[in-house]
Amino acid sequence: MSVNVSIDTISHLRTTLTGSVIEPHDEGYDEARRVYGGFDRRPVAVIRPADVDDVVRVVIFARETGLELAVRGGGHSNAGHSVTEGGIVLDLQDLSEIEIDVEGRTAWAQGGATAGAYTAAAGAHELATGFGDTGSVGIGGITLGGGIGFLVRKHGLSIDNLLAAEIVTADGEVLVADESDHPDLFWAIRGGGGNFGVVTRLRFKLFPLPSVLGGILVLPATSEVVAGFIAEAEAAPDELSTIANVMPAPPMPFLPEELHGSMIVLAFLVHSGPEEEGDRVLAPFRALATPLADFIQRIPYSAMFPPEEHGEQPSAVASTMFMDGVDREMADTIISYLESSDASMRAIQLRVLGGAVTRVPADATAFAHRDSKIMVNVAAFYEGPEEKVVREAWVADFMAAIRQSDSGAYVNFLGDESPDRVRDAYPGETWNRLRAIKAQYDPDNFFHLNQNIPPAAG
pLDDT digits (tens, 9 = 90+) for 72-111: 999 889 888 999 999 999 999 999 999 999 999 999 999 9
Residue-level pLDDT at 426: 98
Model confidence at 4, in pLDDT bands (50, 70, 90)?
A: low
pLDDT tens digits for range 208-240: 999 999 999 999 999 999 999 999 999 999 999
Residue-level pLDDT at 277: 97
pLDDT averaged over every residue in the chain: 95
Global pTM exceeds 0.85? yes
148 and 243: one domain? no
- For residue 458, is it within any domain? no
pLDDT tens digits for range 422-444: 999 999 999 999 999 999 999 99
- For residue 427, is it within any domain? no
Which residues are within 8 A (CB) of 87 and not within 5 positions of it... i.e. 6 or more apart?
A: 43, 44, 62, 67, 68, 69, 70, 449
What range defines the domain where residue 380 resides? 212-413
217 and 189: one domain? no
Half-sphere exposure of 278 (CA within 13 A, CB side): 17
Angle at the Cα of 123 from the Cα atoms of 120 and 127, rounded to 5 degrees? 135
Mean pLDDT of 272-284: 97
250 and 384: one domain? yes
Residue-level pLDDT at 37: 80
70 and 117: one domain? no
Burial of 326 (0-12, 13-18, 19+ CB in 10 A): buried
Half-sphere exposure of 355 (CA within 13 A, CB side): 26
pLDDT tens digits for range 9-48: 898 899 999 999 999 999 999 999 999 887 899 999 999 9
313 and 392: one domain? yes
**CATH code, 85:** 3.30.43.10
199 and 237: one domain? no
pLDDT tens digits for range 163-198: 999 999 999 999 999 999 999 999 999 999 999 999
Residue-level pLDDT at 307: 85
104 and 86: one domain? no
pLDDT above 90 as % of the chain: 92
* Choice between 358 and 1, residue whose per-residue pLDDT is larger: 358
- For residue 422, is it within any domain? no
237 and 118: one domain? no
Model confidence at 1, in pLDDT bands (50, 70, 90)?
A: very low
- For residue 4, is it within any domain? no
When divided into structural domains, the chain yields a total of 3
Sign of CA dihedral 281, 283, 289, 294: positive
297 and 350: one domain? yes
- Contact at 8 Å (CB) between 81 and 195? no
Three-state DSSP class for 251? coil
71 and 120: one domain? no
Residue-level pLDDT at 311: 61
226 and 359: one domain? yes
Q: Residue 216's closest CA among 150, 274, 153?
A: 150
